[in-house]
A and B are shown apart, each in its own frame.
Chain A
Amino acid sequence: MKTEPLSILVRNPLAGVFVALTVIFALSALLSPYFLTPYNLSVIARGLAFVGLITIAQSMLMVLGELDLSLGVIGGLCGVISGILMVKLGIEPYSAMLLAVLLGACLGLFNGLLVTTLRLHSLVLTIGTAGIFGGANLVLTRGVAITGIPKEVQFLGRGDVLGVPVPFLIMLAALAVATFVMVKTPFGRYMYAIGNNQAGARMLGIRVDRIRLLVFVAAGAIAGLAGVLMVARLGTAQPSIGDTWVLAPIAASVIGGVATTGGVGSPIGAIFGAGIIAVIENIIVLFGVSPYWQGIVSGAIVVLAISFDAISRRYLRRENG
């Protein structure tokens, strides 16, 4: 047995991604004088909040061995619906937002019911439902943003508490709840059991379909929350909200150690992964990287981060005997 801290590091599944994030953070701070300014950190935190919420939802599903490609579109549709409720139907803004989040839960329920009752593959199914939800968005808006979102709710997207963006605080709260449920409750342990071996979990008497259904509902609600917060951030309900929330949360989850096959990982790791992506997107602008090189640069940093994670773990494991 070597040193105790190394042993703790190697045992902790979050260590690799945390170290990778720290290295990227430190290098960015060294190379750009603007990186550590409070304004820039708040820009990163605010950007991370929205993708972070979808990442939490996606990582919960991935632990079960599921993938939902409609989460971003659910966020967009819920955002648009909240705008319609507030502006066109005159419903009290916070009630409208709550109703939109509930709609997100219902859309998650719709996905979950189809997956569990018809035994459909969630990845394939949600390609289809993403088309339905995205189409509904266009039918309702005809591609035109809904303006006139009341100022009182814009605090939820634009406001700060002690310099920390409000949506980031909401994301942290969602992360805390998701982590508590997954780590500290039997429900969470069942999620990992299902993700590891669904047939085995059934044999153990775990109500597999019920748990899968509830996680789809929770994921839909979180996506809806991301959508309405983005409406509060923009001050308009944009039909394009959620368009870029499809691949990034999956990539973030994988970077953060969540296995696509299920049973491994946690939302905290996924948020570290999302943090890496958010910092990369930020430094690309700070360094003035050409837009034609951005894909190569960000892809290369992600590959390096994953490789660093894998290599450091292997090294530490060897060091520890």
Chain B
Amino acid sequence: MKKIATLLACAAFALPVAAWAQDAAGTTKKDSYRFVIVPKVVHPWFDKVNEGAQQAATALKAQTGASVEVIYSAPQTADVVQQNQIIDSALATQPDGLAIDLLDPSGNQASLEEAQSQNVPLVLFDSVPPEGMQITHIGSDFCEQAKIASRRLVEILNGEGEVAIMMGVPTAPNHSIRAECHRQVFAEHPGIKVVAEGIDNDSIEIAQQQAAAIMQANPNLKGWVASDAAGPIGIGQAIVEAGKQDQVTLVGLDNLPEMIEMIRNGVADSSSASQPELQGYWSVMMLWAQATGAPVPGYVDTGNAFLTKDNIGD
């Protein structure tokens, strides 16, 4: 009788433990996953994000045997309305997760709330969540990235001279944070004067036009920093066209092939680069973790790299 009672007691204890083990975090398993990546716009920087995301899908497939599909769906223009339309349409396909680079957190909020109401796992990369929303976000410290570049420019100019800042899309938080942090660094050095700020809307062509006009209007301009990946490429083109490689110093941003090439041939001194491949890779990993029911961190820092002629190789 005692034995039966002991067995029953063990069973009574084991059942909830077994039930708990069934629901343990990160144990939900599926044979296939489909994740959607929505960047700000069709752009080479986001192609690198997509490369990282596809690598993560391949890694997950190899490790788990599950089929992992990553669909890359980009707006043709950097327009929050178009981006929301893509997010909403992607939600209709009931994906296992959605990774988004927000064009404007407040403008994207309605679509994000819709995703949360449908229990679709979310990750933001290269951007921060709207105020009051808890969403895992991945990226580097935008401010630090900008400060690395502006401090380098100050150092090259020995703390003196006229400089200009190229803003990206003024409504994009990561771009505006970088622009503001450039200003903060320059404000710490009384010999540095910010004589102009341009808006390139993440377009190389516009950056080139703006930079050419600003250099025309400010013949004593000594240096440039940028707040987005397209900006320094356009600025570099404008510097070459104006024949000012020896007079104007460019410290760039990010690691697009054109940027690397400009460092290599001396048009740009260096670049402070975020790591888009890592952002794509960890976006997929975080989405997968959420889909399995695992808890995820609020923020994943993918860090910045400082690229110079010495470390970019041939």
Contacts and interface: CB of A to CB of B under 8 A. Distances in A.
Interface of A: 32, 34-35, 37, 39-40, 43, 46-47, 50, 142-145, 147, 158, 230, 233-236, 238-241, 243-244, 281-282, 285-286, 288, 290-292, 294-295
A43 B170 contact: no
Contacts of A46: 88
Contacts, number: 91
B217 interface: no
B91 interface: yes
Contacts of B25: none
Contact of B92 (A37, A147, A230, A236): A37
A145 B106 contact: yes
Contacts of A144: 170-171, 176
A235 B92 contact: no
A84 to B, nearest CB: 15
A166 to B, nearest CB: 13
A230 B199 contact: no
B92 A47 contact: no
B213 interface: no
Of A39, A46, A236, A240, most B-chain CB atoms within 10 Å: A240
Interface in B54-93: 71-82, 84-86, 88-93
A43 B72 CA distance: 19
Nearest to A147: B106
A292 B82 CA distance: 16
B93 A291 contact: no
B109 interface: yes
B308 interface: no
A235 B72 CA distance: 27
A132 to B, nearest CB: 18
A236 B106 contact: yes
A230 B169 CA distance: 20
Contacts of B109: 235
B76 A39 contact: no
Contacts of B80: 234, 238, 240
A77 to B, nearest CB: 15
Contact of A286 (B42, B93, B169): B93
B104 interface: yes
A282 B171 contact: no
Nearest to A230: B81
Contacts of A291: 42, 72-76
Given A145-B106, A292-B42, A294-B76, A34 B94 contact: yes
Nearest to B88: A43
B79 A240 contact: yes
A144 B80 CA distance: 13
The 4 closest A-B pairs by CB, nearest first: A143-B170, A40-B92, A285-B89, A291-B74
Contacts of A34: 92-94
Interface in B171-187: 171, 176
B86 A244 contact: no
Nearest to B175: A143
A272 to B, nearest CB: 19
Contacts of A147: 106
Contacts of B78: 240
Of B73, B77, B82, most A-chain CB atoms within 10 Å: B73
A295 B104 CA distance: 24
A39 B107 contact: no
A173 B297 CA distance: 47
Contact of A288 (B71, B82, B92, B110): B71
A39 B92 contact: yes
A43 B85 CA distance: 7
Contacts of B85: 43, 47, 281
10 contacts: A34-B94, A40-B92, A142-B170, A144-B171, A240-B79, A244-B81, A285-B73, A285-B93, A291-B73, A291-B75
A150 to B, nearest CB: 14
B90 A285 contact: yes
A285 B71 CA distance: 9
